[in-house]
Amino acid sequence: MNIASLTPVCAHTTILLPLYLNRIAAGFPGPADDYIDGGLDLNEGLIKHSAATYFARAEGDSMIELGIFTGNLLIIDRAIHAEGGDMLIAVDALLTIKLLGFAHSRLLPANKLYRPIEISAKSQVDIEGVMLHTAHCLSI
């Protein structure tokens, strides 16, 4: 899965959106409530290091088994040290999103049709950041 476009995070602007007190049932529906818990600032919940965070759009199908599809908005933090199992953005000729293997020797796809990218001493793979969140549009 490649990265289609990159956008830096803009200066921190607070926009409070309503956050409902009750959770929405994804199984058996419950009674509706009109209680609002307060405001939710998405910057606060999604961005840890604003100076080191950027947005990108995913392109391709190598990460579909983890729910990442073409057009998804990716939130990537360059200030976080990548650990095994993290989803990261790496440069291997192109920008790509993959899971970092626990031995740090492979970049793993989340689609059985793709092979891992081996990382050796001779590899020219650079880590561009750790992907913390993704969002995708469900409407057409």
Residues 51, 133: Cα–Cα separation, whole Å: 17
Catalytic position from the list 50, 62, 120, 123: 62
98 flagged as catalytic: yes
Catalytic residue (one of 5, 50, 98, 122): 98
CA separation (Å) from 19 to 13, 16, 29, 40, 61? 18, 9, 19, 6, 33
Query: Catalytic site residue 112?
Result: no
Is-contact 97 131, C-beta < 8 A? Answer: yes
Active-site residue list: 62, 98
